[in-house]
């Protein structure tokens, strides 16, 4: 065991500054795009060294809470959406939990024959009749996800008849074929020209792609490609050993 004097050692000064700034942002005292005091002003306010203040601001910038513009100042960052990495949740639930508005635009909702890649993903024979959907999810009217999903039609025969302005594919599939297992593969990718247009991003802007498969009992229910604009979204996971 560590000596008690180490366990009770006070937090470093830069951590105290970080905590106070984080608290002001979380409480809404400082809001997105607000300019915060300069390094010199914070030095005068806290009485700590400039090196201490600089480290606190640098780490908060690395963590996505602040944006620093050379010669201009330091500002509160626009909050990024956050998606569960180890937990599978509906994007609508995530957006509503942030007290934002969700809506969905359905681009494709069809029955088709499984290609070789789709058949492999769903563990069915090539040419098997499956369902295919493409949707764009919006947060406060800003596109945040393209969902391209293929579904095992035998397990979820009514998939095409649902109103996806009122529910999400994930919510409906979880109701009809309760999730027992999931798989995530996360990649950094470059979006196509069509995807850039749908997400309202520029060519070469970074994107995150989640390839997600879900099982109910021993059957693969669906396989989805979930594409996020990297500048507006981040993935977070928590696990215990």
Reported as type and span, the H/E element at residue 121 is helix 116-122
- Match 């109701």 to its residue by tokens: 175
Q: How high is the pLDDT of residue 186?
A: 86
Q: How high is the pLDDT of residue 115?
A: 95
CB 229 within 8 A of CB 201: yes
- Match 């297992």 to its residue by tokens: 181
Q: How high is the pLDDT of residue 212?
A: 92
* pTM exceeding the 0.75 threshold for the entire prediction: no
Give CA 1 to chain center in angstroms.
39
- Match 């004097």 to its residue by tokens: 5
Q: How high is the pLDDT of residue 44?
A: 94
Ranges in the chain, pLDDT < 70? 1-10, 70-71, 78-88, 232-241
Burial class from Cβ neighbours inside 10 Å (0-12, 13-18, 19+) for residue 215 reads middle
CB atoms within 10 A of CB 89: 14
Q: How high is the pLDDT of residue 4?
A: 42
């Amino acid at each position: 065991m560590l000596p008690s004097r180490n366990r009770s050692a006070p937090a470093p000064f830069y951590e105290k500054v970080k905590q106070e700034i984080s608290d002001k942002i979380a409480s809404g005292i400082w809001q997105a795009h607000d300019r915060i005091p300069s390094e010199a002003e914070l030095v005068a306010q806290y009485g700590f060294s400039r090196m201490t203040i600089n480290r606190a601001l640098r780490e908060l910038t690395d963590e996505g809470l602040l944006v620093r513009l050379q010669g201009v100042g330091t500002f509160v960052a626009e909050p990024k959406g956050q998606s569960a990495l180890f937990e599978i949740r509906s994007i609508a639930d995530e957006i509503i939990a942030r007290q934002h508005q969700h809506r969905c635009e359905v681009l494709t909702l069809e029955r088709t024959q499984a290609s070789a890649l789709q058949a492999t993903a769903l563990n069915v024979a090539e040419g098997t009749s499956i369902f295919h959907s493409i949707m764009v999810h919006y947060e406060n009217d800003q596109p945040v996800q393209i969902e391209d999903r293929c579904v095992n039609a035998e397990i979820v025969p009514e998939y095409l008849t649902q109103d996806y302005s009122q529910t999400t594919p994930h919510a409906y599939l979880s109701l009809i074929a309760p999730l027992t297992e999931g798989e995530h593969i996360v990649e950094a990718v470059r979006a196509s020209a069509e995807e850039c247009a749908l997400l309202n991003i520029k060519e070469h802007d970074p994107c995150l792609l989640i390839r997600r498969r879900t099982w109910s009992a021993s059957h693969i229910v669906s396989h989805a490609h979930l594409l996020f604009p990297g500048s507006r979204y981040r993935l977070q996971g928590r696990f215990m050993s």
